[in-house]
Homo-oligomer: A and B are copies of this chain.
Amino acid sequence: MCDTCGCQTNNQNSDTRLIDINKSLLEANNAIASKNREHIEKMGAVAINLISSPGAGKTTLLEKTADMATNLFHFCVIEGDIETERDAERIRAKGIPAIQLTTGGACHLDAPLVHKGLHKLEDEISTTPFQILFIENVGNLVCPAAFDLGEHKRVVMVSVPEGSDKPAKYPRAFLGSDLFLITKIDLLDYFDFSIEEATECAKRINPKIRVMSVSAKTGQGMDKWIAYLQNLID
């Protein structure tokens, strides 16, 4: 357990009291996450927790998903950011109900905050029934990996400009994810990014992880992403 972040197991400054508190906080988080999952299921939806570095294209993926999902399924978005309402505004501009959670500095969403988000979603948004709830986490490839939010599927995204060494360098995010989405593949010609290397490495960490590659800009690979989502709700 990192004594300043609670995000992993090893640390230089271990302190028994702190480990106990962090452990109990994670346990409390997980208990609320389970409640969130039930809550979301009662709404008739499945939840997807999107994790990536800043700028990997989480919001852009959701904008393109909105364009393609018309007549296929309805979805809502809980946007997590440290500051600003920008991402929720981008999603709303696509006609998709979205609420913004700002963490006020914290580096990840946690289950209690998402619990508030679920009530905000119910209270503030008069919407048609939806089948998918996307939870767009704070842009951070490290800390969000430690926190169950109550999602049914976790998707970790790495964009081509970030480099194919990212699974090896940030293994925890891949260990806990169901799908590894390689984004911005329209840029493969401009970067030394190997889909094969990234895939092999992610599968060494987590043999069960699925891997897809997409460009939300050109639409390449987006049909498989949409099929993945449809399969979750069928």
List chain A positions with a Cβ less than 8 A from chain B: 2-13, 15, 17-18, 21-22, 25-26, 28, 53-55, 81-84, 86, 103-108, 110, 112-113, 116, 138-143, 147, 158-159, 161-163, 165-166, 168-172, 184, 187, 190
Contacts and interface: CB of A to CB of B under 8 A. Distances in A.
Contact of A104 (B8, B104, B112, B184): B8
B169 A84 contact: yes
23 contacts: A2-B103, A2-B106, A4-B6, A4-B110, A5-B7, A7-B105, A8-B107, A9-B105, A10-B105, A11-B106, A12-B113, A13-B25, A13-B110, A54-B162, A54-B170, A55-B161, A81-B169, A82-B142, A82-B169, A82-B170, A84-B169, A86-B165, A138-B142
Given A21-B15, A28-B13, A83 B4 contact: no
What are the 10 A-B residue pairs with the smallest beta carbon separation, nearest first? A8-B105, A55-B162, A10-B104, A107-B142, A161-B161, A4-B6, A5-B5, A2-B106, A53-B53, A12-B112
